Structure 1
Amino acid sequence: MAPFTSQELRKGFASFATGVTVITCIDEEQNPHGITISSFNTVSLEPPLILWSLKKQSRLMPWVEVGKKHLIHVLERSQEDLAMHFATVKQNQFVNISHQLATSGLTQINHCVAYYECETISVHAGGDHNIIVAKVINLKNHPEKAPLIFARSKFIGLDLGEAQPN
């Protein structure tokens, strides 16, 4: 018997504050898809690598396999509605969402804190999820914007005050 329940583990994991991202990708017919992910993590500067995880059964999995490109959006503190919108599966996800087509052909949601255009270089099994390791091939950053944070099952804003960019 496990020393804790899955619900206790979920609550324990919720104590770790994390940024909120939406990842967009395209299918074989160039249709855009997006999903809210809080499992984003930096890995390496040289080469520039990130990782994130996705349920093995996710409908998006075929479109983020090795060699496929995707766009990671770091949400701004006022974009809670976008986080909730992309947290559930729905048709025509980008209707009434402010977005544009990036030069890469990927769908870019407007007004985010940062954007990382990535190409998946490896996928690793991790329990009921796949861990996607991707190389950052393009970057846009808006350090004047405050990121959206998720902790204890709630969204919070991060007040950067007078923080100066490094």
Structure 2
Amino acid sequence: MTPFTSQELRKGFSSFATGVTVITRLDDENNPHGITISSFNTVSLELPLILWSLKKHSRLMPWVELGKIHLIHVLEHSQEHLAMHFTTVKIDQFNGISHKLAASGLTQTNDCVAYYECETVCVHIGGNHNIIVAKVINLKNHLEREPLIFARSKFLGLDFTETKTS
């Protein structure tokens, strides 16, 4: 069997459709930061846990360590611009972005499908990433909104209209 390249593996992984999230956190001086993450996954309902991964050497890692809170935004299908905006490091990331402060003090972008306020309960090493496991401590869902999906290096929407079955 011929070994595969990392590029081939990346293309293979891209066949798995995933939702798109932005995670926001405050630094030690209470400045807001955000990052686009597609590695979000549910873990448990009884003890409400989620997981997501972040590069080991990310600038955000110190602010999502054990006991820290962060806000996960599930992006709406028209929010591709937010996904792209938060993929790169910027000074004053929230300038020009419609947002408000959540009750927790975290920065919340507007009009997302769902919001999960979380507290990091453990961090595991996974290759060149850290896997953050977090407890959901508050949530808001907007079921009337449709999520943004990412697959095969493209942003997609879903059609949630019901079809009749025979």
Q: CA RMSD in A?
A: 1.3
Mapping of residues 13-28 of structure 1, within 5 Å: 13-28=13-28
Deviations 1:74-95 (A, max 9, x none): 0000000000000111111000
Q: Which amino acid aligns with 1:46?
A: E
The CA distance in 1 between the partners of 2:55 and 2:30, in whole Å, is: 22
Q: Which amino acid aligns with 1:150?
A: F
Superposition deviation, residue 2 in structure 1: 7.0
Q: Match of 1:115?
A: 115
Q: How many residue pairs were aligned? A: 163
The CA distance in 2 between the partners of 1:123 and 1:159, in whole Å, is: 35
TM-score (norm 2): 0.96
Secondary structure at the aligned position of 1:87 is classed as coil
Mapping of residues 5-154 of structure 1, within 5 Å: 5-154=5-154
Q: Which amino acid aligns with 1:85?
A: H
Pair 62,3 (structure 1): closer, same or farther in 2 beyond 3 Å: same
The unaligned stretches of length 5 or more in structure 2 are none
Q: Which amino acid aligns with 2:93?
A: Q
The CA distance in 2 between the partners of 1:133 and 1:2, in whole Å, is: 35
Superposition deviation, residue 108 in structure 1: 0.4
Q: Which amino acid aligns with 1:59?
A: R
The CA distance in 2 between the partners of 1:2 and 1:20, in whole Å, is: 33
Secondary structure at the aligned position of 1:82 is classed as helix
Q: Post-superposition, which runs of at least 4 consecutive aligned residues in structure 1 deviate over 3 A?
A: none
Superposition deviation, residue 159 in structure 1: 1.3
Superposition deviation, residue 3 in structure 1: 1.2
Superposition deviation, residue 40 in structure 1: 0.1
The CA distance in 1 between the partners of 2:2 and 2:143, in whole Å, is: 43
Q: Which amino acid aligns with 1:120?
A: T
Deviations 1:96-127 (A, max 9, x none): 00000001010000000000000000000000
Superposition deviation, residue 162 in structure 1: 4.3
Secondary structure at the aligned position of 1:103 is classed as coil
